[in-house]
Each structure stands twice: as C-alpha cells, then as structure tokens.
Amino acid sequence: PAHIPVLCIDGPTASGKGTLADRVADQLGYWVLDSGALYRATALAARCAGVALDDEPRVAALAARLPLHFEAGRCFLDEEDVTDALRAEEVGLGASAVAALPAVRQALHQLQLSFRRVPGLVADGRDMGVAIFPQAQLKVFLTASAAQRAERRYKQLISKGFSANIAGLLQDLEARDARDKSRSASPLAPAQDARLLDNSDLSIDASVEQVLAWWDEKRAFAD
C-alpha cells in the first residue's frame, strides 16, 4: 500500500513520541503504530514463558507469533490486558535488550508494516523512518534533554501508581539511550531526511502544531 501516507516520529525514550503521535493521529484521523509496545510485549512474553532475554532464537520465535491485539486504546497479550504492565520501567529495559537482537527486529518487521492502512499512519519508535517506512512522507526526530525526559517519565510513572525516583530513572534512561544508539541492528539515529524537533522547552500543544504545519507543507508539495 505504497500510496497510504505515513508520518514517522522517532527519538529517544520519554521524549514525548507517544503523546505526540496520538495527538497528531487524532487530528489527522490516522492510525497509530506504537512500535515500542511490540518490543515491550516481546520482553513481557519472554519473561512469562521463562525465556532468557538473550536467547535470540527463542525470543525471536515468541516475537514472530506474538498474540498481541489492540482494542479501544488497550493492549492485550492473549486475553490479558497488559496496557499498564507494558509501561513498567523494567519492561522498557527488557524491550531495549530484545530490540538489540537482529532476529527479533526481523520477526517484528512485517507486523509493523501491517499497521499501514487507509487513510494513513503515524508511526512512533526508533527506526520508523530509517528501516520500517523509509519512503514516509514526513520523518520527525524528537529529542529533549535527558533531565527533562527523566522528569517527564517520573511524573508519568507516579501518575500511573508506579513508584519511581528521578536519579534512578535518569540513570536507566541514559543506559537505554546508550544501548539503543550503539547497537549494530538499527541503532537510534535520525534518518537523513528527518526534521529535528527539540521539545525541551516546548509544550505538547506547540509540538503538535509544528508537526501538523510540516505535514501540511509536505502534503501541499505532494498535491
């Protein structure tokens, strides 16, 4: 479905990708792909099955037949609602470990492409613009300072009833950034044709406005 428009939002952890993707998709009436949820679900499924996170063939086999489905904004693994469980920080760290395995990335590739449906898709992750949708109409690389991101993640976790401390979060987030950037399989980096957006001092509303303005600009060119 090469004609279906795709808008990619890639960037480091807690930069606000998910929030921005949801808001932009809402405005455009598009579908959303939260690709991080697929890696998180793979890590969770491995933990439940007692599979070690560095056992590449077995983790990839789990990823290839992930019993995952999305319904009314909730995420289910088999019949279990795992929406909140997926957000736990240790699941994020586990996701970053399994995401470094090439066979796991390969196993999730096709599933990610299947989210491209009419009238369009907003895809959020690390490698949406570089590896999954290289032909996307617009690629945004979203960043914010590590301190800002740690504070945002802290508030988000507390509001969901998880316990957290900022110093620990900052450390985890820097470890995860380092691993995501240095791995050989699809390292975290902006696509050559990505637009950079640093939202350290930008509200969510202002970020949404900026991305929609870029989108209108691109669409005006395409028509």
Binding site for ligand CDP (CB under 6 A): 13-19, 35-36, 39-40, 92, 95-96, 99, 125-127, 152-153, 156, 176, 180, 199, 202-204, 207
Determine whether the annotation assigns residue 15 to a binding site.
yes
Identify which of residues 28 and 104 has a Cβ nearer to ligand CDP in the complex: 104
Determine whether the annotation assigns residue 18 to a binding site.
yes
Identify which of residues 116 and 176 has a Cβ nearer to ligand CDP in the complex: 176
Distance CA 14, CA 25 (A): 19
Determine whether the annotation assigns residue 143 to a binding site.
no
Identify which of residues 61 and 131 has a Cβ nearer to ligand CDP in the complex: 131
Q: C-beta of 93: minimal distance to ligand CDP in Å?
A: 8
- Tokens encoding 16: 């606000």
Identify which of residues 165 and 219 has a Cβ nearer to ligand CDP in the complex: 165
DSSP state of 130: I
Determine whether the annotation assigns residue 175 to a binding site.
no
Q: C-beta of 29: minimal distance to ligand CDP in Å?
A: 20
**Strands of the sheet with 121-125, listed across from one edge:** 31-34, 121-125, 6-10, 138-143, 195-198
Buried b (16+ CB within 10 A) or exposed e, 171-210: ebbeebbebbeebeebebebbeebbebebeebeeeebbeb
Find tokens 């736990």 and name the residue: 88
- Tokens encoding 157: 């976790």
Determine whether the annotation assigns residue 16 to a binding site.
yes
Q: C-beta of 213: minimal distance to ligand CDP in Å?
A: 16
Determine whether the annotation assigns residue 14 to a binding site.
yes
CB-based closest residue to ligand CDP = 36
Q: C-beta of 215: minimal distance to ligand CDP in Å?
A: 18
Q: C-beta of 92: minimal distance to ligand CDP in Å?
A: 5
Position 199: which residue type? N
Identify which of residues 118 and 204 has a Cβ nearer to ligand CDP in the complex: 204
- Tokens encoding 177: 């950034």
Q: Give the residue ranges of the annotated binding site for ATP.
A: 11-19
- Binding-site residue positions: 11-19
